[in-house]
Amino acid sequence: MTQVTFRQDGKTLTALLSGEIDHHGAAQLRAAIDDRIAAASPAILILDFSAVTFMDSAGIGLILGRHKLVSALGGVVVVQKAPKDIRRTLSVAGIESKE
């Protein structure tokens, strides 16, 4: 089951993702994250993948869509703590994951 919890520190919003990010899970995450972005207008959105166990191309779409949304607000998206297998998928898509 895909879940997201949030932490806010000033203008930094962290989304702690967990579970499997497939087409269905990405849709749930997208709605929850977009609601928080609309409410918080963060300067920095951190997507923390440390508890994600699986991700397919829907996860790439999730990241790119949030990047587009946050960039339109003048902010940036940081992907961090992705497990090794997911880092490979991100790398193929040209997305860097910070430790």
Residue 14: what pLDDT? 98
The reported pLDDT for the residue numbered 3 is 96
Q: What is the pLDDT of residues 59-74, one digit of tens each?
A: 999 999 999 999 999 9
Angle of helix 57-72 relative to helix 84-92, nearest 10 degrees? 70
CA–CA dist 7, 13 (Å, integer) = 6
Q: What is the pLDDT of residue 98?
A: 83
Q: What is the pLDDT of residue 92?
A: 87
Give me the pLDDT at residue 99, please.
75
35: number of Cβ within 10 Å:
11
- What confidence score (pLDDT) does residue 24 get? 92
- Identify which of 74, 2, 77, 72 has the alpha carbon closest to the alpha carbon of residue 32: 2
All residue ranges of the chain with pLDDT < 50 are: none
Q: Residue 76 is which amino acid? A: V
Those residues with Cβ within 8 angstroms of residue 17's Cβ, 6 or more apart along the chain or in another chain: 2, 3, 4, 29, 47, 48, 49, 51, 52
**What CATH number is given for 3-92 in this structure?**
3.30.750.24
Map residue 17 onto helix, strand or coil. Answer: strand
What integer pLDDT is reported at residue 81 of this predicted model?
A: 96
Q: For residue 21, what pLDDT is reported?
A: 96
